Amino acid sequence: MFDLSGKTALVTGASGGIGGAIARTLKACGAKLALSGTRAEALQALADELGGAEILPCKLDVAEEVEALVPAAVDKLGQLDILVNNAGITRDGLAMRMKDEDWAAVLRVDLEAAFRLSRAALRPMMKARHGRIISISSVVGSIGNPGQANYAAAKAGLEGMTRSLAAEVASRGVTVNCVAPGFIASAMTDALTDDQKAKMFERIPAGRFGEGSDVAAAVLWLASAEGAYVTGQSIHVNGGMYMG
């Protein structure tokens, strides 16, 4: 079950916590990996941890260099079976004070880059009549969040784009889905006070933050043969924070 032997995957945003967890999980199940991220040292450390020859680290900014990423992955790994659109940024601020450049930056990385990568990945996937595109959305794409109009709009757009792409390519053996995390444990949540954490836990029926591995498990299912009949879906991983 969940055997990815012989499959190749490109994971963006791999130098972050969730991206790293996804990469480790896919590699543990046999996938060859191309990893992209903006933090060169963290990306190389992950590549070294996961082991050399079947790992391609690509230090780049998906907002600026996205067109080169899929061809590089195919050239190194020979094919592309799985694309995980995980790269994302935030530029938080109340809407009345939000600068145009902060709106545009988030939409460019969190939505436009995911579209351009998906478009590029569809070419080899449709030719092979097999593929998995999995984009990391967010619970705020469904419920919104004050101070994150740009981020919420990008993530909601990502889910709409996912459903449209899924309808276009399902007949060619390609599935397109989202995984939408809630509050996931990170360096940011570690810095919160106990009182701040308690207030956040009040919004989460499970009473705790999720882990990167929780998100990675959902990605693995969608990437595997066991997830072949699931497409156009947003899988929420949020401890019950949103039940759509």
Positions annotated as catalytic residues are: 151
99 annotated to a ligand binding site:
no
184 annotated to a ligand binding site:
yes
Helices (H), the chain: 17-28, 40-50, 62-65, 69-77, 100-107, 113-128, 140-143, 149-169, 187-190, 194-201, 212-223
Q: List beta partners, residue 175.
A: 132
C-alpha to C-alpha distance for 240 and 144, rounded to whole angstroms? 16
86 annotated to a ligand binding site:
yes
153 annotated to a ligand binding site:
yes
53 annotated to a ligand binding site:
no
> Residue 94, exposed/middle/buried by CB under 10 A (0-12, 13-18, 19+)?
exposed
177 annotated to a ligand binding site:
no
**C-alpha separations of 57 from 33, 221, 241 in Å:** 8, 24, 34
Q: Which two tokens stand for residue 180?
A: 């939408």
Instruction: Decide if 160 contacts 119 (C-beta within 8 A).
Output: no
127 annotated to a ligand binding site:
no
Going by C-alpha positions, the residue among 51, 58, 96 that lies closest to residue 76 is 58
DSSP codes of every residue in 4-20 = -TT-EEEESSTTSHHHH
238 annotated to a ligand binding site:
no
Binding site for NADP(+), by residue number, is: 38, 86, 151-155, 184
Give the residue numbers of the binding site. 38, 86, 151-155, 184
